[in-house]
Amino acid sequence: MRSGMRFWSGCWIRSTGRHADAIRRLAGAEGREHADALRHRRHIGALRDRDPFFTRSSRVGLRLSAIEQTSGNLDALSGSDRETVRSLIR
């Protein structure tokens, strides 16, 4: 264990000074919400680690929405690109 540190919800936190207040808060209702947020972040990270296309699909989805906003539909893409994008976002 690190000196003056405490391991909580997957991260090291200082157990003295202003961080002691944070630890006390983490033990209460705010702490449960914070723990849920950390758990969610770790879940998304695990999905990303398991699925190498997770972030790529997200980026393609964002690009697709930008294309749809400017052109109104997928016609802005060539035929093969359009099918590739559709298969990625399904």
Instruction: Report pLDDT digits (tens) over 51-63.
Output: 555 555 555 555 5
Whether 85 contacts 65, CB under 8 Å = no
Cα diameter, the chain: 61
In the predicted model, is pLDDT for residue 1 greater than 50? no
CB atoms within 10 A of CB 62: 10
How many domains does the chain divide into? 2
Q: Which domain holds residue 25?
A: 1-50
Judgement on whether residues 34 and 77 belong to the same structural domain of the protein: no
Tell me: do 45 and 1 sit in the same domain.
yes
Give the separation between CA 31 and CA 13, rounded to whole angstroms: 13
pLDDT at position 72 is 46
Classified as helix, coil or strand, 51 is coil
d(CA 54, CA 14): 34
Quick: pLDDT tens for 5-61: 666 555 565 555 555 565 555 555 555 565 666 666 665 566 555 555 555 555 555
**Domain match, 40 and 63 both:** no
Within this chain, do residues 40 and 62 fall inside the same structural domain, yes or no?
A: no
Q: Identify whether residues 1 and 45 lie together within a single domain.
A: yes
Q: What is the pTM of this model?
A: 0.22
Q: Do 44 and 74 have their domain in common?
A: no
